[in-house]
């Protein structure tokens, strides 16, 4: 796909050159070299400088703040994704983080793997072999290997919490060793071919287990299934539900309640869950339904929530750290003792920055917070 196709496809020619995108961009704020407006302009003007060669193609966090404010409704993350797809086809790529470990795992998962990654679930709660509801665990078992010893961070607290919560509302979900990564990161790395392979493998697997409903805790998995799987999978025909919508309904109908806890927390909206999937109230309602927990909002919250600084295991830089530190300082300024986030990656990214900061703040997985407040826990 050439540049003019990308411009036509994303209607980037409607750009008014107003600069709201660049003014809203968390990357531009720290790195003025990066500007969504300029990148669109370069593509429109067909300048000699080829945007596909530009390192900044890989700097966008696809947080979507720009698009939400764009008066012409240009889908800038989609524009960047298409540029990346083309750049990837030409052998270009961003700088992978964590030794490209996660991309390697994802590409291996496109093959005929026989994985063993559900042991944790048998210890943490009750699961079923077949049934209506599938729980899409996501990549946490792999994150756990990378971060458990190095950062003393237990990435499995999230999935364990989810399973306890699902059990508490009477669901014994199906989970599977053969589940692949949802493909979100490869897609944002421009590797659409392998993204499509993962997507098809996952949908095929879930259907073969006889499940009709898929419950997600991971915002990326949820949004990718919802928004991007239909691009590469025909007749998905699965009911996609985010855990917090499901739990919030149970709290409303009083079939789920929490016991007294204490603490002042603030909620960090993951880009995928908040701004992009529009799930803003359910997580807040759930936190507020825990007696004794005080929820304080940070300066940037809900649709205006700040990004956690990195995306798709790529382009992690001093700019990422700056964004993360700003975010953590907002949490401290809000008077919170704990920053709670619903995204396993936001948790990792922000925890990384916290290691270099001297502030009195904890970071907790939302599902862990809720599971610890369960009546029967």
Partner 1 sequence: MDKTREIMRLLGVEEARLRREWISASEGNRFAAVVAEFTEEIRKLGRNPLTKRETAA
| Sites of contact with partner 1 (CB under 8 A) | 101, 105, 108-109, 111-117, 141-142, 145-146, 149, 177
The alpha carbon torsion through 83, 86, 88, 89 (nearest 10 deg) reads: 180
Which two tokens mark 351?
């925890």
Whole-number minimum distance, CB 179 to partner 1, in Å?
11
Structure tokens of 225? 């299934």
Cβ neighbours for 226, distance < 8 A, ≥ 6 positions apart = 240, 277
Phi, psi of 235 (to 5 degrees): 45, 60
> Least distance to partner 1 from the beta carbon of 114, Å?
4
Shortest reach from residue 351's CB to partner 1, in Å: 18
Q: Which residue blocks in 155-309 are alpha helix, DSSP H?
A: 157-168, 184-188, 192-208, 219-223, 229-232, 243-252, 281-288
Q: How far apart are CA 135 and CA 120, in angstroms?
A: 14
Q: What is the DSSP string of 79-112?
A: HHHHHHHHHHHTT----BSGGGHHHHHHHHTTS-
Q: How far is the CB of 142 from partner 1 (least distance, A)?
A: 6
Q: How far is the CB of 119 from partner 1 (least distance, A)?
A: 10
Residue 9 or 104: the one with the smaller Cβ distance to partner 1 is: 104
Of residues 112 and 237, the one with the C-beta less far from partner 1: 112
Q: Give the Cα separation of 25 and 321 in Å (integer).
A: 15
Burial class (CB in 10 A: 0-12, 13-18, 19+), 375: exposed
| CB nearer to partner 1: pick between 105 and 241 | 105
The CA–CA distances, whole Å, from 332 to 297, 342, 347 equal 11, 18, 16
Least distance between partner 1 and beta carbon 274 (Å)? 30
Name the burial class of residue 335, with classes exposed (0-12), middle (13-18) and buried (19+) by CB atoms within 10 angstroms of its CB. exposed
Closest CB 211 distance from partner 1, rounded Å:
22
Residue closer to partner 1, measured from CB, 146 or 191: 146
**Phi and psi for 189 in degrees, rounded to 5?**
-85, -5
Closest to partner 1 by CB, 44 vs 105, is 105
| Residue number, 1 or 145, with CB nearest to partner 1 | 145
> What phi-psi label fits residue 215: left (phi over 0), alpha (psi between -120 and 50 degrees) or beta?
beta
Nearest residue (CB) to partner 1, 143 versus 244: 143
To partner 1, the closest distance from the beta carbon of 46 in angstroms equals 44
Pick between residue 140 and residue 266 the one whose CB is nearest to partner 1.
140
């Amino acid at each position: 796909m050439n540049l003019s196709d990308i411009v036509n496809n994303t209607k980037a020619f409607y750009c008014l050159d107003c600069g709201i995108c660049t003014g809203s961009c968390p990357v531009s704020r720290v790195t003025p070299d990066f500007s969504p407006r300029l990148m669109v302009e370069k593509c429109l003007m067909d300048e000699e400088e080829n945007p596909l060669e530009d390192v900044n193609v890989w700097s966008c966090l696809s947080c979507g703040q720009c698009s939400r404010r764009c008066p012409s409704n240009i889908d800038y993350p989609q524009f960047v994704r298409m540029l990346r797809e083309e750049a990837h086809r030409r052998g270009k790529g961003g700088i992978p983080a964590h030794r490209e470990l996660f991309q390697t795992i994802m590409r291996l998962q496109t093959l005929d793997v026989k994985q063993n990654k559900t042991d944790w679930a048998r210890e943490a709660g009750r699961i079923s072999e077949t049934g209506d509801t599938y729980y899409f665990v996501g990549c946490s078992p792999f994150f756990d290997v990378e971060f458990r010893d190095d950062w003393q961070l237990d990435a499995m607290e999230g999935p364990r919490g989810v399973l306890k919560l699902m059990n508490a509302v009477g669901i014994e979900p199906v989970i599977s060793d053969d589940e692949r990564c949802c493909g979100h990161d490869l897609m944002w790395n421009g590797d659409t071919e392998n993204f499509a392979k993962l997507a098809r493998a996952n949908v095929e697997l879930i259907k073969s287990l006889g499940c009709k409903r898929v419950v997600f805790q991971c915002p990326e998995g949820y949004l990718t299934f919802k928004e991007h799987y239909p691009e590469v999978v025909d007749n998905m025909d699965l009911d996609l539900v985010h855990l917090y919508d499901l739990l919030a309904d149970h709290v409303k109908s009083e079939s789920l309640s929490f016991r007294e806890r204490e603490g002042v927390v603030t909620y960090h909206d993951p880009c995928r869950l908040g701004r992009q999937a529009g799930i803003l109230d359910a997580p807040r309602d759930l936190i507020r339904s825990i007696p004794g927990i005080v929820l304080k909002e940070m300066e940037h919250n809900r649709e205006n929530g700040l990004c956690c600084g990195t995306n798709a295991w790529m382009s992690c830089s001093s700019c990422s750290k700056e964004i993360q530190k700003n975010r953590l300082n907002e949490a401290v300024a809000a008077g919170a003792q704990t920053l709670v986030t619903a995204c396993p990656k936001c948790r990792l990214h922000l925890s990384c920055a916290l290691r270099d900061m001297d502030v009195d703040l904890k970071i907790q997985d939302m599902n862990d917070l809720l599971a610890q407040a369960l009546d029967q826990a």
